[in-house]
Amino acid sequence: MCGRFALSAMLTDIAEEFSTTAMPEKTLPVDWNIKPTQDIYIIKNQSIDIASWGLIAPWSKDSIQALRSQSQAINARSESVHEKPTFRNAFRNRRCLVPASGYYEWATELGRYKTKQPVFISRDDNKLLAFAGIYDRWISPEGEIRDSVAIITRDAVGDLAKVHNRMPLFLPRERWSDWMDSELTEIEEVRSLMNIPKPDSHLRFWPVASLVNSIRNNGADLIAPVELGEPEVLF
């Protein structure tokens, strides 16, 4: 899964990386500890927009229900995103990219790290990650407009599978245009875009301190590598 990530790039750098021409009306601060329901940047064709992380269920009747549904829909599984009522319309019609400098994961099983050890994952060339995302727009009974987004995940592969069994779906540059094409609505064709030959290509990761566990903490020190002792052998 992906429950926390970082974006340290400036808005102009994001625009250059994704070749966008339209900018949002406001600029979000650099953030090393982005959490669910927070406003984040999303890429839609030639524009950078802002949406709240966690897809609001289309049938939410009020703001309380909307917020509750968001917290339960920060990620959408690639295997079932085309079927789930919360996600399927957005998957067909409203796909985007979510830029990130890297993301955090917490070890869940025996493997490379002890359970709950936080790890930071980024590209090995320092370029931005492009998470596959889906977005939607919800309008409250009072007329308030809220754009929201979910990040698509898949089974983890390679060394990342020794940290957690899920990972975000990273899209290579050559698939960005098709993924964001609103005229591409044939489900099986869209699903085929998620079949990435080497989904962990150009990734690196390292253990970080438990500072990231608290959403109150922020700053570049959250991704600083830490030295760990020898892993425990239980049998």
**Run of H or E including 15:** helix 11-18
Tell how far CA 233 is from the center of its chain: 33
Nearest CA to 2 out of 113, 108, 103, 121 is that of 103
Q: Which residues contact 78 (CB under 8 A, 6 or more apart)?
A: 132, 152, 153, 154, 169, 194
Q: Which of 96, 105, 188, 232 is catalytic?
A: 105
Q: How far is CA 201 from the centre of its chain?
A: 17
176: helix, strand or coil: helix
Known catalytic residue at 2: yes
From 2, 25, 83, 189, active-site residue: 2
> Is 105 considered catalytic here?
yes
Direct distance between the N- and C-terminal alpha carbons of the chain, in angstroms, rounded to an integer:
28
Both tokens of 7, joined, read: 């974006």
Task: State the DSSP H helix or E strand holding residue 76, giving kind and residue range, or none if neither.
Answer: strand 75-77
CB 172 within 8 A of CB 129: no
Q: Catalytic residue numbers?
A: 2, 105
